[in-house]
Structure 1
Amino acid sequence: MISTRRNFLGLALLGLTAAATGCSTAIGSGGAGETKTLRYQGWAGDVTLPELAADLGYLDDVRLEWVGNTTSGPQDIQSAATGQVDFGGAFNGAVVKLKAAGAPIKSVIGYYGADEFAYSGFYVLEDSPIRSARDLIGKKVGMNTLGAHHEAMLGIYLKRNGVSPEEVAKVEPIAVPPVNTEQSVRQGQIEVGVLGGILRDKALEKGGLRKLFSDHDLLGAFTAGTYVFTERFLHDNPGTVRTFVTGVAKAIEWSRTTAREEVVARKVDILTKRGRNEDPTALRYWKSNGVAGKGGRIEDRELSLWVDWLAERGEIGKDQVVVSDLYTNEFNGVAA
Structure 2
Amino acid sequence: MAQGRGVPLPFDRPQQFVERIIHHVEKAIVGKRDSIETAVIAFLCGGHLLLEDVPGVGKTMLVRALAQTVGASFKRIQCTPDLLPSDVTGVSVYNQQTGQFEYRPGPVMANVLLADEMNRASPKTQSALLEAMEEKQVTVDGETYRLPEPFMLLATQNPVEHEGTYPLPEAQLDRFLLKIRLGYPEERHEVEMLGRLQERSPLAGVKAVLLREEWARLQLETRLVHIDDTLKQYIVRLTSATRTHPDIALGASPRASYALMRTAQAKAFCSGRAYVVPDDVKSMAVSTIAHRLVLQPEARYTGKSAESVMAHLLAAVPVPAAQAAAGGSL
Q: TM-score, normalised by structure 2?
A: 0.28
Higher relative contact order (CA 8 A, sep 6+): 1
- TM-score by length of structure 1 reads 0.28
